[in-house]
């Protein structure tokens, strides 16, 4: 599998390569296709696509049999949590305790399991804009402890930091020490308008490309993976300068079947010192998390709150249910399908809000 190496920036050619390659490498278990919204200009059309995909020559032509494609188109899989009215996770429930609706129509559950040990693919996204100056060290310390707690030898994680642009500082790895080292390398961007903080020029050199970072994490990293997928954002939720909108980030995350958690970390004193009443990104972050089955946890600049928030996420990722069904509507028209999981006891279900019934792209010859 083709992946970015550490410390690589998302350059135009590289991002184009990812868009081309992700069409050929989408997981055989997810009914999604790559988003079509480019984050940066495409490379010239005269450039051979094969030059951007060095792994193609090593792939056998019959690597993905037709039988796998038939199954992947017809099954929708869901990971979700169940909580009582007090917010306590509810384990040991059975298939008969739940019902699933797609666009309001009941669906027949084909498989069901209480899965807590399936392999996990996890993205850590760290906001390194100026507003995070007083909380970044806390995020590194507590985030590293979380990774040591949650990751097993079956899991993988990567680290992205974002300010005026988005950078992959650590590619997929199971090595927690490498992940911690990558987080420790993240530095606050002190650039001002017209003075870039990174080696790749961008249209806007002052800002926080939060929405772009979520899109890249979902589309370029997680969309190609299988199984449980999640990303955790350490940010104040403020976006400034992204080329994409929040709806684009949400769509990419849903198409990648990625659960998004947002830990709102910020020193309110930073905003006060600039005459700002506070950060206002929470509402957009709630849209993102509610659409993907995650949630927003406001920790401010409190070490204990951040540690507690990571503990809650770890417990939720270990206590997920997994079910699948074959949609009664078989048409793969690219439309959005609304999902709802209900329980007989009226428990709170934390699940993604829908998916895109996107036709599978043909595999390259």
Q: What is the pLDDT of residue 94?
A: 95
Same domain, 151 and 210: yes
Same domain, 253 and 334: no
Domain assignment present for residue 364? The answer is no
Mapping DSSP to helix (H, G, I), strand (E, B) and coil, where does residue 209 land? coil
Q: What is the pLDDT of residue 30?
A: 43
> Mean pLDDT across the stretch 165-180?
96
Q: What is the pLDDT of residue 206?
A: 59
**Domain span holding position 274:** 120-317
**pLDDT confidence tier of residue 278, bands split at 50, 70 and 90:** low
CB-CB neighbours of 18 under 10 Å: 25
78 Ramachandran zone, left/alpha/beta (phi>0; psi -120 to 50): beta
> Mean pLDDT across the stretch 117-126?
94
Check whether 23 has a pLDDT greater than 90.
no
Q: What is the pLDDT of residue 231?
A: 98
Please compute, for residue 120, the number of CA atoms within 13 A of its CA located in the half-sphere on the CB side: 25
Domain assignment present for residue 18? The answer is no
Q: What is the pLDDT of residue 32?
A: 38
Same domain, 264 and 350: no
Q: What is the pLDDT of residue 356?
A: 94
> Mean pLDDT across the stretch 268-274?
53
Same domain, 146 and 277: yes
How do the residues of the chain divide into helix, strand and coil, expressed in percent and rounded to 5?
Answer: 35, 25, 40
Q: What is the pLDDT of residue 131?
A: 87
Q: Are 132 and 266 in contact (CB under 8 A)?
A: yes
Same domain, 271 and 329: no
How many domains is the chain built from?
2
Instruction: Read off the pTM.
Output: 0.76
Domain assignment present for residue 133? The answer is yes
Same domain, 243 and 351: no
CATH of the domain at 269: 3.40.50.410
> How far apart, in whole angstroms, are the C-alpha atoms of residue 357 and residue 5?
32
| CA dihedral for 37, 13, 155, 244, sign (positive or negative) | negative
Q: What is the mean pLDDT of the chain?
A: 79
Same domain, 98 and 183: no
Domain assignment present for residue 27? The answer is no
**pLDDT > 70: what percent of the chain?**
70
Q: What is the pLDDT of residue 196?
A: 35
Same domain, 96 and 136: no
Domain assignment present for residue 365? The answer is no
Check whether 14 has a pLDDT greater than 90.
no
**pLDDT tens for each residue of 54-65:** 334 344 444 444
**pLDDT tens for each residue of 313-356:** 999 999 999 999 999 999 989 999 999 999 999 899 999 999 99
Same domain, 208 and 243: yes
**pLDDT tens for each residue of 91-107:** 999 999 999 999 999 99
Same domain, 168 and 92: no
Of residues 269 and 294, the one with the higher pLDDT is 294
Q: Are 258 and 300 in contact (CB under 8 A)?
A: no
């Amino acid at each position: 599998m083709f992946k970015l190496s550490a410390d690589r920036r998302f350059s135009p050619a590289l991002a184009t390569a990812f868009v081309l390659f992700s069409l050929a490498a989408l997981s055989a278990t997810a009914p999604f296709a790559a988003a079509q919204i480019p984050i940066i200009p495409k490379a010239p059309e005269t450039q051979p696509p094969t030059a951007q995909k060095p792994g193609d020559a090593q792939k056998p032509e019959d690597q993905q049999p037709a039988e796998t494609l038939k199954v992947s188109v017809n099954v929708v899989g869901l990971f979700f949590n169940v909580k009582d009215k007090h917010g306590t996770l509810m384990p040991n429930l059975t298939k008969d305790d739940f019902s699933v609706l797609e666009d309001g129509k009941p669906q027949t559950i084909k498989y069901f399991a209480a899965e807590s040990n399936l392999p996990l693919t996890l993205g850590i996204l760290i906001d390194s804009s100026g507003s995070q100056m007083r909380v970044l060290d806390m995020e590194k310390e507590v985030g590293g402890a979380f990774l040591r707690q949650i990751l097993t030898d079956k899991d993988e994680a990567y680290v992205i930091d974002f300010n005026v642009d988005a950078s992959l500082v650590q590619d997929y790895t199971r090595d927690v020490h490498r992940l911690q080292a990558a987080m420790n390398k993240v530095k606050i961007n002190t650039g001002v308008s017209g003075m870039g903080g990174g080696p790749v020029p961008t249209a806007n050199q002052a800002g926080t490309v939060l929405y772009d970072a979520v899109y890249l994490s979902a589309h370029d990293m997680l969309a190609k993976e299988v199984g449980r997928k999640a990303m955790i954002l350490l940010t104040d939720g403020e976006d400034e300068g992204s080329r994409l909108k929040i709806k684009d980030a949400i769509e990419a995350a849903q198409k990648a079947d990625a659960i998004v958690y947002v830990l709102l970390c910020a020193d309110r004193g930073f905003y006060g010192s600039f005459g700002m009443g506070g950060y206002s990104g929470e509402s957009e972050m709630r849209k993102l998390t509610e659409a993907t089955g995650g949630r927003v946890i406001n920790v401010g600049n409190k070490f204990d709150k951040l540690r507690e928030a990571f503990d809650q996420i770890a417990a939720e990722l270990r206590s997920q249910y997994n079910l699948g069904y074959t949609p009664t509507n078989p048409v793969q028209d690219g439309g959005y399908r609304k999902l709802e999981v209900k329980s007989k006891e009226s428990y709170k279900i934390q699940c993604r809000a829908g998916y895109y019934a996107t036709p599978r792209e043909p595999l390259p010859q």
